[in-house]
Amino acid sequence: MPLSTRTMAVQPNHLTKSYVLPLFILFVTSGISTTHAACSKMDQQSLFSSFDIASSSLNWSSNDCCRWEGITCDMAGRVTHLLLPSKRLKGVISPSLGNLTHLSHLNLSHNILSGHLEAGFFLSLGRLQILDLSYNLLSGELPLSPPPSCIRIVDLSSNQFNGTTPSSFLQRAWNLSNLNVSNNLLEGQIPSFNCSYSPFVRSLDFSHNDFSGIIPLGLGNCSKLELFRAGFNNLLGTLPGDIHKARALEEISLPSNKLSGAIGENIANLTNLAVLDLNSNQLSGALPLHIGKLSRLKLIILNFNNLESFLPPSLMNCSSLTELNLGYNQLEGDLSVLNFSKLTQLIKLDLMHNHFTGPLPISVYSCKSLIALRLSSNDLEGQLQHEILSLKSLSFLSLSYNRLSNVTGAMKILKDCKSLRVLLFTNSFLGEEMPDGDLMVDSSGFQNISIIALSGCQLTGKVPVWLSKLEKLKFLDLSSNRLTGPIPGWLGTLPSLSYISLQSNFISGEFPKELCGLQALRSEKAATQTGHDDLELPIYPSFNGSAVILQIKYLSNIAIGIGLKNNSLSGNIPRDIGQLQLLQQLDISFNKFSGNIPHQISNLRNLELLDLSRNHLSGEIPASLSSLNFLSNFSVAYNNLHGQIPLGTQLQSFDATAFEGNLGLCGSPLPNECQKKSPGDSDTTKDQEDVHDSGNGIPWLKISVSLGFIVGFWGVCGPLALSRSWRYAYFEFFSNVVDRFAR
């Protein structure tokens, strides 16, 4: 702790009383200590030449450097503290800093310092205890080999340090307690820490680097170690065999590595453990049988591994748990035999994509703190129980990909779930009737709902009227059902609605003009008025059947779109569609739309996907379409269009398949030139069955590589997760995408 100047002011032991008052005022106004001799000339010189002061926000103009901002001196006028975080310091740190030989506290975090620091840079700083260079642009090898022997806290995180870290790195640091080198470019093995050298180590953070190899033994000696983080590296092998001996451990966070093997029974010895985060590794085996001994565990995050077998009953004794995430594993067993009722602190429970069976576990409903519950992609069956209403804070519910029945009953219950915001029921039910009728008589149901996915259930009936009362509804996916009838005009009156998919139903009639009135598609103001944006659990969609597994963490990451693909819609595309300025995706392919392509579509300046293929559209392609700068996915294939594809525009950058199947269309990128007008042009008369589907369905995520909206993906475990999703074909919604996988 830096000495407080104020403390020094009220204990001016070597000053006469008459100085106290003016000095005190000085301290308060300038925060500068003067209880010392004037600044050592040597230190002043070193300070001046250490940084580029001119470009910083520092005012180092007085003669006495001990009065300068951020500097504290000892009685002899030697600089002991140099605390200059967030001072816009830039450029390199000159080696002359090493002349401040009395320095004990150095904090230069959150600046713009760059360049290399020689190994041994800090060696002359024999009294340095606290070193914080975090959040700069420093590069090269870590400057501490060996570190000053008094060092206690080292924070070099969030820089660009690279190279390997010799295991001598931590030796001789007798008093080291905190080391943070996270968020750099370090590689090679994690340095072995030998706590017989550094017995006071409490916190080690190696995360977000390129460390590889196994985690070396040695941790077990660290009797004071509370926190060990090394996530987001390329670490291999098992958990270190001696980790269970570090009895003080409160947090083990090693997510997104390639760790394998079992977690091991020994971990149950770490009775102080509060956080166990090993997600996105390749861990296998069962959960430790005696995990219930860890009564302080708050977070168990083990999703995206290969864990198997049954959940140990003792897990239900971890009564401090706030988050239990075991998604994407191979766990099995009848969930309803477990008793969740002791988990009264539990806020998030995610068991998605395992092999759990049985009815929905009714004891889960006694976890009164639950906000997010995801049991999707398992083998659960039966009906949703009334008791779910005791979860007063439940905001996120996903039961997708199970074998539930009685969707009408489920919706009748859930409409009274006052906090519910996200409801994912993709492929949960099969072949029932769309809940409708008096479901919403009291009109107070689902008043907070923002996302409804009720797709892939082969539901019959019509687009239900109760939806018309959902003022916060933003995302509606009713795709892959058997809905008939028209698209109701009242959909256009829903004030928050910005994504609709009715894809792959049997909907007929016209494109209702009312849809062109959707407020959230017309004005930025309406679109941003929704409440909090973050989702309680990330949603895992697929887009375009691509190889990347993405996660959506925010409502606003969902695309703004209308998806009507694969229905029986007819009539013209309304001109008013040009009013939906915010629309990013419009897919009306595989319908019977006729008439011209209205040139007003070119008003939709945010459009990234436009699929008009497989309709009966005629006329020419409006030249103005080429003004759609963000368009990255486009097709008008298989219509009755004619004339020249507008020349010299970006429309020519699309594949010929985007235009094929239009007998009268000519010019680049089609192979037939316009002048020739040869009726037997081989390419355009190609057998339609030969041509594969170019409309992949709406990637409903805001995928716009050009705009950089991709929300993040599992770089490390992507291949693993993908190979599994291939087998189990599971995504949270958009079943048509899954269909593509299944084919």
Binding site for ligand NAG (CB under 6 A): 59, 61-62, 85, 107, 109, 130, 132, 134, 149-150, 153, 155, 157-158, 174-175, 180, 182-183, 203, 205, 227, 292, 313-314, 317, 383, 406, 409, 412-413, 480, 504, 566, 590, 693, 736
CB of 1 to ligand NAG, least distance (A): 8
CB atoms within 10 A of CB 132: 21
Instruction: Name the pairing type of β-strands 552-554 and 534-539.
Output: antiparallel
Q: 509 forms bridges with which residues in the sheet?
A: 569
Residue 214 and residue 237 in contact, taking contact as beta carbons nearer than 8 Å: yes
CB of 480 to ligand NAG, least distance (A): 5
CB of 465 to ligand NAG, least distance (A): 20
**Number of helical (H) and strand (E) elements in the chain, helices listed first:** 8, 47
Residue 630 and residue 605 in contact, taking contact as beta carbons nearer than 8 Å: yes
Nearer to ligand NAG, 514 or 739 (CB): 739
Nearer to ligand NAG, 412 or 522 (CB): 412
List C-alpha distances in Å: 36 to 26, 43, 64, 465, 515. 14, 14, 11, 79, 76
Q: 46 forms bridges with which residues in the sheet?
A: none
Residue 71 and residue 106 in contact, taking contact as beta carbons nearer than 8 Å: no
Nearer to ligand NAG, 182 or 281 (CB): 182
Specify the 3-state DSSP secondary structure of 355: strand
CB of 355 to ligand NAG, least distance (A): 22
Nearer to ligand NAG, 412 or 553 (CB): 412
Element (H, E) at 587: strand 585-587
Nearer to ligand NAG, 50 or 157 (CB): 157
Specify the 3-state DSSP secondary structure of 82: strand
Nearer to ligand NAG, 574 or 697 (CB): 697
CB of 386 to ligand NAG, least distance (A): 6
Of 231, 295, 240, nearest in space to 264 by CA:
240
- R_g over Cα of the chain: 32
Greatest alpha-carbon span in the chain: 108
Nearer to ligand NAG, 223 or 528 (CB): 223
Q: 65 forms bridges with which residues in the sheet?
A: none
CB of 413 to ligand NAG, least distance (A): 6
Nearer to ligand NAG, 404 or 582 (CB): 404
CB of 501 to ligand NAG, least distance (A): 12
Element (H, E) at 228: strand 227-229
CB atoms within 10 A of CB 692: 6
Q: What angle do CA 1, 51, 54 make, to 5 degrees?
A: 115
Nearer to ligand NAG, 445 or 574 (CB): 445
CB of 149 to ligand NAG, least distance (A): 5
CB of 515 to ligand NAG, least distance (A): 21
Residue 16 and residue 55 in contact, taking contact as beta carbons nearer than 8 Å: no
CB of 383 to ligand NAG, least distance (A): 6
C-alpha to C-alpha distance for 308 and 284, rounded to whole angstroms = 7
Nearer to ligand NAG, 339 or 672 (CB): 339
Extended strands (E) in 238-328? 251-253, 260-261, 275-277, 282-283, 299-301, 308-310, 323-325
CB atoms within 10 A of CB 29: 8
CB of 742 to ligand NAG, least distance (A): 11
Q: What angle do CA 175, 276, 233 make, to 5 degrees?
A: 75
| Size (the chain), residues | 743
Nearer to ligand NAG, 385 or 672 (CB): 385
Nearer to ligand NAG, 333 or 409 (CB): 409
Nearest position to ligand NAG, beta carbon: 409
CB of 732 to ligand NAG, least distance (A): 19
Nearer to ligand NAG, 152 or 472 (CB): 152
Nearer to ligand NAG, 78 or 208 (CB): 208
Residue with tokens 């010299």: 648
Residue 123 and residue 146 in contact, taking contact as beta carbons nearer than 8 Å: yes
CB of 61 to ligand NAG, least distance (A): 5
Element (H, E) at 398: strand 396-398
C-alpha to C-alpha distance for 725 and 657, rounded to whole angstroms = 29
Nearer to ligand NAG, 383 or 570 (CB): 383
CB of 153 to ligand NAG, least distance (A): 5
CB of 64 to ligand NAG, least distance (A): 10
CB of 292 to ligand NAG, least distance (A): 4
Nearer to ligand NAG, 288 or 292 (CB): 292
C-alpha to C-alpha distance for 105 and 132, rounded to whole angstroms = 8
Nearer to ligand NAG, 173 or 703 (CB): 173
Residue 185 and residue 156 in contact, taking contact as beta carbons nearer than 8 Å: no
**H, E, C per residue of 410-478:** HHHHHCCCCCCCEEECCCCCCCCECCCHHHHCCCCCCCCCCEEECCCCCCEECCCHHHHHCCCCCEEEC
Q: What angle do CA 109, 111, 113 make, to 5 degrees?
A: 105
Nearer to ligand NAG, 232 or 475 (CB): 232
Element (H, E) at 44: helix 41-50
- Answer positive or negative: Cα dihedral of 665, 667, 669, 671: positive
Extended strands (E) in 57-180? 71-73, 79-83, 90-91, 105-107, 112-116, 130-132, 137-140, 153-155, 160-164, 178-180
CB of 535 to ligand NAG, least distance (A): 22
CB of 317 to ligand NAG, least distance (A): 4
C-alpha to C-alpha distance for 443 and 439, rounded to whole angstroms = 9
List C-alpha distances in Å: 183 to 140, 275, 446, 725. 14, 20, 42, 30
